[in-house]
A and B are shown apart, each in its own frame.
Chain A
């Protein structure tokens, strides 16, 4: 069965970077893109962008452009999201999700809580 398993919770200081992993199984990794979505406490879902697991092409939300980097390791069927220059407003649960089609995120990771605090 399709599974996306994310790395554990992180606590970071303002100005630091965080890298979240998203390990996948149960399907051919290179066929689907991986999207990243975050949700601040009590807030709405916020789309961050996607990476093509096949060719590594990326698309970043304008809000995060320049501060976020998506990568993937085909041999490990794993995608990564790195967010730099962290500030308190980046405290959120970060999700990875598999795209079945346009805007159709059919399988999600369990979420990774990133807390930014001095």
Chain B
């Protein structure tokens, strides 16, 4: 199973918005509403930011939002803050034979 495709990098100035894409196939992203997004700071464990495409766990700021269209899911970070600078990974369920799959990761830089 190949990894989901994400852009290697994205950036924005404080207060701006940045959107990260996560492209899969009809067998994973497009086939299920089970897409999650994780934030990972250097040397730290990942943190769940979005699950089931659009849902935010308690404690995650509403500046983070998720969406999906066809085989591509997206994470938008609005009102960028310095602490949002991190790596972001998407993940999708890919059916009972495959299981889960992660994306290639996107490094977000706050300029």
Contact = CB atoms under 8 A, between A and B. Distances in A.
Interface in B44-63: 45-48, 51-52, 57
B3 A101 contact: no
B105 A100 contact: no
A36 to B, nearest CB: 11
B46 A103 contact: no
Contacts of B46: 37, 45, 95, 97, 105, 108
Main secondary structure, interface of A, reads strand
Interface in A80-118: 95, 97, 100-106, 108-111
A47 B102 CA distance: 7
B98 A44 contact: no
Given A47-B91, A62-B1, A103-B100, 18 more contacts: A44-B103, A44-B104, A45-B40, A45-B46, A47-B101, A59-B99, A61-B99, A62-B98, A97-B45, A101-B52, A102-B93, A103-B36, A103-B51, A104-B36, A104-B57, A105-B46, A106-B57, A108-B45
A102 B1 CA distance: 18
Interface in A14-64: 35, 37, 44-47, 49-50, 59-62
Given A102-B34, A103-B92, A106-B57, A45 B102 contact: yes
Q: Which of A35, A50, A105 has the most B CB atoms < 10 Å from its CB?
A: A105
B17 to A, nearest CB: 24
B3 A44 contact: yes
22 contacts: A37-B102, A45-B38, A45-B46, A45-B102, A46-B102, A47-B91, A47-B101, A59-B96, A62-B1, A100-B57, A102-B52, A102-B93, A103-B35, A103-B92, A104-B36, A104-B52, A106-B48, A106-B51, A108-B45, A108-B46, A108-B47, A111-B45
A105 B1 contact: no
B72 to A, nearest CB: 16
